[in-house]
Amino acid sequence: MNGADLLCETLLANDIDVCFANPGTSEMHFVAALDRQPTMRCVLGLFEGVVTGAADGYARMADKPAATLLHLGPGLANGLANLHNARRARTPMVNIVGDHATYHLKYDAPLTSDIESLARPMSHWVGRAGSSHDIGQATETAILEARAAPGQIATLILPADVAWSDTNATIAPKAELRQAAKPDERRIATAVEALRKGVSTTILVTGLALRERQLEKLDRIARASGARLMAQQSNGRMQRGAGRVAVDRAPYDVDKAVASFAETAQVILIGAKAPVGFFAYPGKPSSMLPDDCTVIEMTEEGDDLPLAIDMLADAIGATPKAEFSTRHNPDLAQGKLTPDAIAIALAHYMPANAIICDESVSSGRDFFGKTHGAEPHDFLQLTGGSIGIGLPLALGASIACPDRKVISLQADGSGMYTLQALWTQARERTDTLTIIFANRRYAILHGELKNVGAGEPGVNARQMLDLDNPALDWVSLAKGMGVEAARADTAEGFADLLKSACSRRGPFLIEAVI
């Protein structure tokens, strides 16, 4: 057995049996080790942003990490943007990054770079395997770090000679996971006291608080105390739709967010962070809360959120029943295809238990409000603002949940970042439906340019913000990667395509020209 085998066996012993990969020469012994392990499912991405984004989608739905395999500093670099999103989603992930053999580093061969410096900003934990004998221990540490609540990015650097050297080390049994921490009773008591004050209160939540059962309890707590329940602006995963509690999200727009919290005297945070502007703007505040708003952090990093919610419910005596959304089947729109018409059609047709991956940016803002009464579904968001996660996220979610329909709400500009994911969707025959919101511009930036008072965009601004010259032809792009596709430019045409796409299996793409 060599170091690569030991690494691979340790992953499998700890229930990590999916590896999203794009290997290179320095990882070839690890590839050979994976080849000796048919129980490890290897999924190739034709670009590393696909690899890390898919590992994120997988873990959000599987509630356990996947491994990634990346080639040296540049391979890691290509995956960093989606690692950034995964870090913000608190997704557990174990990255294996190959490096040159230890004795080769001093020669500064062309692919040499400072991998640690690249990894650190997007990782909670970075380590380097020292020898083939301790690679099992290093892998176990990486896995435990990844699985520490609420989820961490662990990056393990694997020198080629560590992978290829023999070892007599034995495979350790499955490591015992660090349990999420029991919440501090004093913090719960402070929250209870606050909720009994009778002042305007928002309970702001994310993470495991957004699962069906926890939302039900939170709704009852809110009703018992007269508080407003709200989710963070952006969340890794939220369970919603008919039969579940409808919960709003903090607004993205600074003015709307400030208005939303203007009357809030206190905010109770459960897993969430106090709301801040996604960007700073001249003359606008960074914090979305009034200056005199009290912020109560009911939980600490690493706390067991479902237990915290149980403790709070017990202390409050949350006796009212929760109110659930009822299934609402809206009438389909007619005429011109608009984001609104797309949202209505989705509310109408999307099947029960669908997984929605939302990277629709400006075009998809209608979806959330229109689908409280859609069939129950999971809703996965872009959490770190780094565009290019939608298609990989859908790929990974589908690998985790092959029997569920995965629907990508994908803006065209951000979709172009990692369009290579379509090829892996075709290869793995995932049940993924992609809806491209083809407005042929970075629409969000047009709005932002207006906001900075630059007036009408001139030649250079249009050159940087418009995608219409030439127009992207997503049907051809999909075909080029083996995914069937069709185009719609009317509400009726879109609804027909959506209905048919939802009644078949396998990857499909609709270019919705809006």
Interactions with a copy of itself, residue window 276-335 (CB under 8 A)? 276-280, 282, 286-287
Q: Is 482 in the site for a copy of itself (CB under 8 A)?
A: yes
Minimum CB distance to a copy of itself, residue 68 (Å): 12
Between 421-428 and 390-400, two packed helices, what is the crossing angle to 10 degrees? 20
**Through-space distance between the first and last CA atoms of the chain, rounded to whole angstroms:** 57
Q: Does 12 bind a copy of itself (CB under 8 A)?
A: no
| C-alpha–C-alpha distance, residues 313 and 2, integer Å | 52
Question: How far apart (Å, rounded) are the C-alpha atoms in residues 128 and 222?
Answer: 47
Q: Which of residues 406-445 bind a copy of itself (CB under 8 A)?
A: 413, 416-417, 419-420, 423, 426-427, 444-445
From the CB of 141, what's the least distance to a copy of itself, in Å?
22
Site of tokens 């607004």:
251
| Alpha carbon separation from 391 to 56, 101, 295, 388 (Å, rounded) | 11, 34, 36, 7
Query: Looking at the DSSP assignment, which residues form a beta bridge with residue 432?
Result: 406
Contact set for a copy of itself, span 442-481 (CB under 8 A): 444-445, 448-449, 451-452, 454, 457-461, 463-465, 467, 469-481
- Can you state the angle between helices 3-13 and 135-147, rounded to 10 degrees? 30
> Cβ(43)–Cβ(424) under 8 Å?
yes
Comparison of 332 and 421: residue with beta carbon closer to a copy of itself: 421
Sole residue written with tokens 């609709």: 510
Q: Indicate whether 388 belongs to the interface with a copy of itself (CB under 8 A).
A: yes
Q: Which two tokens stand for residue 349?
A: 């047709």
**Would you call the peptide bond into 470 cis, given omega within 30 degrees of 0 as the criterion?**
yes
| Region binding a copy of itself by CB under 8 A among candidate stretches 221-229, 315-323, 339-347, 381-389 | 381-389
Q: Which of residues 226-245 bind a copy of itself (CB under 8 A)?
A: 234
Smallest gap from Cβ 477 to a copy of itself, in A, equals 4
Among 290, 385, 493, 506, the residue binding a copy of itself under the rule CB under 8 A is 385
Q: Which of residues 69-128 bind a copy of itself (CB under 8 A)?
A: 73-75, 77-78, 80-81, 84, 88, 100-101, 103-104, 107-111, 113-115, 117-118, 120-122
Closest to a copy of itself by CB, 76 or 333: 76
The 3-state DSSP class for residue 249 equals strand
Report the residue from 160, 215, 374, 394 that binds a copy of itself according to the rule CB under 8 A: 160
Q: Nearer Cβ to a copy of itself, position 101 or 169?
A: 101
Per the CB < 8 A criterion, the answer to whether 348 and 334 are in contact is no
